[in-house]
Amino acid sequence: MSQRHGATETASPSAIRPGDPSRLRTVAVVGPPNTGKSTLFNRLTGLRQRVANYPGVTVEKRIGRARLPGKIDVHLIDLPGIYSLEPRSEDERVARDVLTGRMPGVSGPDAVILILDSTNLGRHLGFAAPILSLGIPTLVVLNMADSLRSGGGSLDLDTVAQQIGAPVVLVSARTGEGTEAIREFLVGALAVPAPLELPVIQDVRRCREWSAQIGEAAEYRAPAPPLWTRRLDAVLLHPVAGLLIFAAVVVAVFQTVFSFAIPLMDATDAMVSTSGEWVRALLPDSWFRSLLIEGVWGGVGSVVIFLPQILLLFLFIGVLEDSGYMARAALIADRTMARVGLQGKSFIPLLSAYACAVPAILATRTIESKRDRIATIMIAPLMTCSARLPVYTLVIAAFIPERPVLGGFLGTRAATMLGLYALGFLAAILTAWALKSSVLRGAGAPFSLEIPPYRVPSLQSLALRLLDRATTFLRRAGTIILCTAIVLWFLASLPLRNGEAPPISESVIGTVGRTIEPVIEPLGFDWKIGIGLITSLAAREVIVGTLGTIYGMEADEGSRDLQGALRGDLDLGGAVALLIFFAFAMQCMSTVAVVRRETAGWRWPVAQFAYMTLLAYVSAYLANRIIGP
Amino acid sequence: MERFTLKDLGRYEEGVLESIDLPEHDARRFMELGFLPGSVVSAAGRSPFGDPRVYRVDGSEVALRRETAARLVLRRPGSAGRKDP
């Protein structure tokens, strides 16, 4: 069913000129939150999208290309989800500036696609007035056609189009129904009605009255209330069952990451080492083979095996977000978060921070209260992100013997891992409390949280999310980690002595490591761990690759296993100190960069880096002293 | 005419929003969420801990804390002074 308006043809037949493939046109995609904007954006652009930042501000800019019939490309800009164009929040200011062409470096859009929720036309059409009054050719997309129909709702699209003076289409971004009409609009094939006088745009009340009139004229019948949502909420928000399910969800996330991911990781590991053996067998013995095997395979390979684990975690978070459960989780968590001065909306970024602090910090934008937002940003890197997993897994496997604890319910290794998660969480909570009762004291904007209806997540948008994550991770493995590995290999092979590589302790990198050794010696670390600490400033997991390279080169006959090598260099106190150091230290340049961007200055990221490093150093020192060799 | 706040709205009860006792900036955000004076607000669910509660207004559901709900003034539906849109 592809419904679209096509009756009045008073205005020029096309809003935008078709043709000229050499000039890519830009179309802005706008709409309030929870209308399926991203799903539609993904459907229109597929994989042809990239993410950047607007200059000088913190708002993420997602640009995609829609390929239209006749090989015409259109640039689609996904604007942040906003309710109005009043420049109160940064999101709103960016949206307004992009739409009005005031954003430096971004030309004003040739057209706008406005996405609204057809199941709540009255309220959503009110959001259209400010956008329509900008005078840019606009297509109004009423999304959730499937929900509207299944709930018995209906409306007359032609009437809506005439009343608002813009073409209107009814689509379902989730199923793809009706989306071809959007492509027709983009090539200029859709009829456009005459523009009309619009109500005073900044008055919420008048916009709402205007939209109520249109709803009446178009004989809009709202769908029946989403019964399933009510039934599910009766269980999922139940005082007992709701809490149990909430706990079960959190446990399931960890269980997935720690148990179900293992076979996948083992498989990846086998693939990495098999391919490494092939390469070794193929090439003659030379410095180049050594660079490839010890540098590239040892460095990059030891990190790539964590990809399945990271993807599983993101899959889980994607399902929770797209289904609507995440909003309930925020609701449930609000009371507890309030105890440390935070709020329910902080829960979502903090849960995502278990995957990675960078998207988590971006997700804090939904928090209206600026102080709550900064506090959440400050503690997000203390949550145990997936980049720590390679380090934890390696050290735990090398030093903690596997014995059953708690009557065989948990092993010692899983218990250590859980302990480290708890440690990060506790540090985060205490830091939040300290911040919110001192520098970030005060309430700020009152808490409000929209509770969307439950929806079945779309496989396509989940797949796109995962693909996005996988590319980011592999790109990092292919760039930062690869470069570190190669540079490290050279630094570890120079200066040459009689044409031969020196013992690693006398190489350039060995000298650097031995220079900083006095600083880290109280923590129980030697110079090799020191090199790892330096390289892991780029990203935590780099230390695994670094140690892989160092030990690989140190060993006489190729492969000495990494765990065994570590046991030779660290005692138990040093190992625990290393785990604790990684739990607290902010070893991640991407996070520093994103915090600087999101807080618009160096003040917070510098304070955060100093605080976390100090916390890490002191705690690691104490752990080493208490546990001893 | 009886006035009360959203905090005292019983489960499955309805009230008509009279005013929002918050600074202009915050009040506007609530209006965008659907809390326009004259609109009907009803109590839907609540968090397992009882706070925040979920309110239904203008076709969507919004969760508010108790302290915030105390700032939204309601009257009984059908009582005098109605000016529903």
Structure letter (DSSP) for residue A419:
H
Judging contacts by C-beta atoms under 8 Å, the chain A residues touching residue B54 are 233, 237, 331, 451
Q: Which amino acid is at A590?
A: S
Give the distance from residue B52's alpha carbon to the nearest chain A alpha carbon, in angstroms.
Answer: 7
| Torsion A506-A509-A510-A515 (CA) sign | positive
Inspect the interface and report whether the beta carbons of B28 and A447 lie closer than 8 Å: no
Question: What mean pLDDT comes out for the span A26-54?
Answer: 79
Nearest CA among A152, A239, A139, A232 for reference residue A185: A139
Strand extents, DSSP E, A297-435: 404-405, 410-411
Residues in chain A: 629
What integer pLDDT is reported at residue A50 of this predicted model?
64
pLDDT tens, A352-375?
A: 788 778 778 877 877 878 888 899
pLDDT of residue A253 exceeding 80, the answer is no
Q: Which amino acid is at A137?
A: P
Q: In this prediction, does ipTM exceed 0.95?
A: no
Give the distance from residue B21's alpha carbon to the nearest chain A alpha carbon, in angstroms.
Answer: 12
pLDDT of residue A8 exceeding 80, the answer is no
Interface contacts A/B by beta carbons within 8 Å: 105
Question: What mean pLDDT comes out for the span A282-304?
Answer: 76
Inspect the interface and report whether the beta carbons of B34 and A123 lie closer than 8 Å: yes
Residues in chain B: 85
Residue A285 near chain B (CB below 8 Å): no
β-pairing, B53-57 vs B40-46, is antiparallel
Give me the residues of A, 332-351, that contact B with CB < 8 A. 332, 334-335, 338, 344
pLDDT of residue A337 exceeding 80, the answer is yes
What domains are defined for chain A? 25-224 (3.40.50.300)
> What percent of chain A shows pLDDT beyond 70?
87
In chain A, what is the straight-line distance between the N-terminal and C-terminal CA atoms, in Å? 72
- Burial letters for A558-580: b for 16+ Cβ neighbours within 10 Å, e otherwise? eeeebeebbeebbeebbbbbbbb
pLDDT tens, A136-187?
A: 889 999 999 988 998 888 899 999 988 888 899 999 988 888 888 898 888 8
Higher pLDDT, A362 or A8: A362
β-pairing, A138-143 vs A111-117, is parallel
Judging contacts by C-beta atoms under 8 Å, the chain A residues touching residue B50 are 239
Residue A281 CB: number of other CB atoms within 10 A?
Answer: 7
Q: Which residues contact A152 (CB under 8 A, 6 or more apart)?
A: A221, A223, A224
Judging contacts by C-beta atoms under 8 Å, the chain B residues touching residue A83 are 29, 32-33
Nearest CA among A576, A315, A341, A579 for reference residue A464: A315
Q: Find the radius of gyration of the CA atoms of chain B.
A: 12
Alpha carbon separation from A512 to A506, A517, A529, A535 (Å, rounded): 10, 9, 12, 12
pLDDT of residue A21 exceeding 50, the answer is no
Q: Please, which pLDDT band fits residue A19 given cuts at 50, 70 and 90?
A: very low
- Could you tell me which residues are beta bridge partners of residue A155? none
Q: Please, which pLDDT band fits residue A551 given cuts at 50, 70 and 90?
A: confident
Least CB–CB distance from B49: residue in A83, A86, A335: A335
Residue A610 near chain B (CB below 8 Å): no
Judging contacts by C-beta atoms under 8 Å, the chain B residues touching residue A334 are 47, 51-52, 63, 65
Contact A239, B51 (CB under 8 A): no
pLDDT of residue A205 exceeding 90, the answer is no
Interhelix angle A527-535/A572-584, rounded to 10 degrees, is 10
Higher pLDDT, A69 or B84: A69
Least CB–CB distance from B63: residue in A234, A243, A451: A451
pLDDT tens, A489-548?
A: 788 777 777 777 777 777 888 888 888 889 998 999 988 899 889 888 877 877 887 888
Inspect the interface and report whether the beta carbons of B49 and A332 lie closer than 8 Å: yes
**Token reading at B68:** 């915030």
pLDDT of residue A97 exceeding 50, the answer is yes
Inspect the interface and report whether the beta carbons of B48 and A120 lie closer than 8 Å: no
Q: Please, is A513 exposed, middle or buried when counting C-beta atoms within 10 Å of its C-beta (0-12, 13-18, 19+)?
A: buried
- Containing A30, the helix (H) or strand (E) segment is strand A25-30
For A37-98, the DSSP string reads HHHHHHHHHTT-EEEEE-TTS--EEEEEEEEETTTEEEEEEEPPP-S--STTSHHHHHHHHH
Inspect the interface and report whether the beta carbons of A446 and B52 lie closer than 8 Å: no
Inspect the interface and report whether the beta carbons of B48 and A242 lie closer than 8 Å: yes
What integer pLDDT is reported at residue A169 of this predicted model?
93
Give the distance from residue B19's alpha carbon to the nearest chain A alpha carbon, in angstroms.
Answer: 13
Q: How far apart are CA A362 and CA A591, in angstroms?
A: 10
Judging contacts by C-beta atoms under 8 Å, the chain A residues touching residue B36 are 204-205, 208
Q: How far apart are CA A192 and CA A429, in angstroms?
A: 54
Inspect the interface and report whether the beta carbons of B58 and A123 lie closer than 8 Å: yes
Give the distance from residue A451's alpha carbon to the nearest chain B alpha carbon, in angstroms.
Answer: 5
Inspect the interface and report whether the beta carbons of A239 and B48 lie closer than 8 Å: yes
Least CB–CB distance from A451: residue in B49, B54, B71: B54
Nearest CA among A161, A284, A147 for reference residue A229: A147
What integer pLDDT is reported at residue A5 of this predicted model?
47
What integer pLDDT is reported at residue A227 of this predicted model?
82
Alpha carbon separation from A187 to A71, A106, A160, A599 (Å, rounded): 11, 21, 22, 40
Give the distance from residue A194's alpha carbon to the nearest chain B alpha carbon, in angstroms.
Answer: 27
Q: Which residues contact A622 (CB under 8 A, 6 or more apart)?
A: none
Inspect the interface and report whether the beta carbons of B60 and A233 lie closer than 8 Å: no
**Nearest residue on chain A to B57, judged by CA atoms?**
A123
The answer to whether domain B3-75 has CATH 2.30.30.90 is yes
| Arithmetic mean of pLDDT over chain A | 81
- Widest pairwise Cα distance in chain B: 36
Inspect the interface and report whether the beta carbons of B52 and A449 lie closer than 8 Å: yes
Q: How far apart are CA A343 and CA A348, in angstroms?
A: 10
What integer pLDDT is reported at residue A9 of this predicted model?
36
Contact A345, A66 (CB under 8 A): no
Preceding omega of A495 cis (within 30 degrees of 0): yes
Least CB–CB distance from B59: residue in A122, A246, A334: A122
Q: Which residues contact A423 (CB under 8 A, 6 or more apart)?
A: A580, A583
Contact A122, B59 (CB under 8 A): yes
What integer pLDDT is reported at residue A537 of this predicted model?
80
Give me the residues of A, 230-259, that contact B with CB < 8 A. 230, 233-234, 237-240, 242-243, 246
Q: Which residues contact A113 (CB under 8 A, 6 or more apart)?
A: A27, A28, A29, A30, A76, A138, A139, A141, A182, A185
Contact A304, A474 (CB under 8 A): yes
Inspect the interface and report whether the beta carbons of B65 and A334 lie closer than 8 Å: yes
pLDDT of residue A4 exceeding 60, the answer is no
Least CB–CB distance from A448: residue in B28, B48, B68: B68
Inspect the interface and report whether the beta carbons of A242 and B36 lie closer than 8 Å: no
β-pairing, A138-143 vs A168-170, is parallel
Q: How far apart are CA A28 and CA A138, in angstroms?
A: 9
Q: Which amino acid is at A333?
A: A
Question: What mean pLDDT comes out for the span A402-427?
Answer: 82
Give the distance from residue A243's alpha carbon to the nearest chain B alpha carbon, in angstroms.
Answer: 7
Residue A122 near chain B (CB below 8 Å): yes
Contact A517, A575 (CB under 8 A): no
What integer pLDDT is reported at residue A48 of this predicted model?
67
Inspect the interface and report whether the beta carbons of B65 and A450 lie closer than 8 Å: no
Inspect the interface and report whether the beta carbons of A233 and B59 lie closer than 8 Å: no
Structure letter (DSSP) for residue A387:
T
- φ, ψ of residue A126 to 5 degrees: the values are -60, -30
pLDDT tens, A382-406?
A: 999 878 888 898 899 888 887 877 6
Judging contacts by C-beta atoms under 8 Å, the chain B residues touching residue A212 are 85
**Nearest residue on chain B to A208, judged by CA atoms?**
B85
Q: Please, which pLDDT band fits residue A200 given cuts at 50, 70 and 90?
A: low
Contact B25, A444 (CB under 8 A): no
pLDDT tens, A421-455?
A: 889 999 999 999 999 888 888 766 788 888 988 98
Least CB–CB distance from A209: residue in B61, B62, B85: B85
Least CB–CB distance from B58: residue in A122, A331, A451: A122
**Nearest residue on chain B to A239, judged by CA atoms?**
B48
What integer pLDDT is reported at residue A409 of this predicted model?
66
pLDDT of residue A199 exceeding 80, the answer is no
What integer pLDDT is reported at residue A554 of this predicted model?
65
Nearest CA among A230, A448, A462, A223 for reference residue A323: A462
Structure letter (DSSP) for residue A4:
B
Inspect the interface and report whether the beta carbons of B85 and A448 lie closer than 8 Å: no
Contact B58, B32 (CB under 8 A): no
Q: Which residues contact A496 (CB under 8 A, 6 or more apart)?
A: A502
**Token reading at A212:** 């109520």
Least CB–CB distance from A123: residue in B29, B59, B63: B59
Least CB–CB distance from A448: residue in B25, B33, B47: B33
Q: Which residues contact A561 (CB under 8 A, 6 or more apart)?
A: none
Higher pLDDT, A226 or A324: A324
Give the distance from residue B2's alpha carbon to the nearest chain A alpha carbon, in angstroms.
Answer: 24
Question: What mean pLDDT comes out for the span B30-59?
Answer: 90
